[in-house]
Amino acid sequence: MAGKRVLVVDDDVKTVELVKLYLNRDGYRVLTANDGLEALRQAREAHPDLIVLDLMLPGMDGLDICRTIREESDVPIIMLTARATDEDKLAGLGLGADDYVTKPFSPRELAARVRAVLRRLPGERGPDEIKHGGITVNFRSHEAFLDGNPISLTPVEFKLLGVMVKEPGRVFNREQLIEEALGYDFEGFNRTIDVHILNLRRKLEPDPSHPRYIRTIYGAGYKFLEAGRDT
């Protein structure tokens, strides 16, 4: 999903820059607007892949923007606002918003919600099955195999393996693994990831002390390798 364009709309410049920082870190191209009319212009001209939209805007209210965009496009919209009542949420979702985040908010959570919404787009789910070396991960049946033999994985282990096997060679730090595999509502500690990785190695590696599949990159995180190939 890296390279997709996200339009961030908020009249608070600091909020826009904070959200932009987190989305840039995930590889998104970020467009920004600080008022309703500019937001509508960019939505029409730049055709972003997703819009993060505040409701309290000068020039044009966020609900009116959402209503207008929905008449013209099915681009995903995440509403970001201080309006936290059930009536406000229902109004936004009723106009076609895909998600609703209230202020004050965690930029980490918002970035995770952006990824989650984009994953639901047609063509973004990815293949049902991935094979690397002797490891096969079937996302439809929620099963993993090593050299054709089933591996008994916990739900967390399966999610971690699934995220890494999709991008062999990419280094994931603990925070990225938590966000991309376990979700922004994960309540454990970052170091819990180390325990799950250790258990995964015991189940996947012929010699866990000399891993062929999941390599530790000291000071950076973990990456998945095709067996025998350091990518």
How many Å apart are CA 67 and CA 199, to the nearest integer? 49
How many Å apart are CA 34 and CA 46, to the nearest integer? 16
Tokens of 160: 């971690």
What pLDDT, on the 0 to 100 scale, is given for residue 53?
94
3 state SS of 102: strand
193-206 residue pLDDT tens = 899 999 999 999 88
Tokens of 224: 């998945």
How many Å apart are CA 36 and CA 180, to the nearest integer? 31
Q: How confident is the model at residue 187 (pLDDT cuts 50, 70, 90)?
A: low
What pLDDT, on the 0 to 100 scale, is given for residue 179?
76
How many Å apart are CA 48 and CA 180, to the nearest integer? 22
DSSP for residue 180: I
What pLDDT, on the 0 to 100 scale, is given for residue 76?
92
77-92 residue pLDDT tens = 998 888 766 676 777 7
115-128 residue pLDDT tens = 888 877 755 556 78
CATH superfamily name and code, 5-119: Response regulator (3.40.50.2300)
CATH topology of domain 129-224: Arc Repressor Mutant, subunit A (1.10.10)
Task: Examine residue 104 and say whether the peptide bond preceding it is cis (omega within 30 degrees of 0).
Answer: yes
pTM of this prediction? Answer: 0.61
Tokens of 161: 């393996």
For residue 64, give the H/E element and its range: helix 62-72
Residue 206 sits at φ, ψ, to 5 deg, of -60, -35
Measured CA to CA in angstroms, residue 227 lies from 63, 153, 208 at distances of: 51, 19, 13
Domain ranges in the chain? 5-119, 129-224
How many Å apart are CA 215 and CA 225, to the nearest integer? 7
The mean pLDDT value for 135-150 works out to: 91
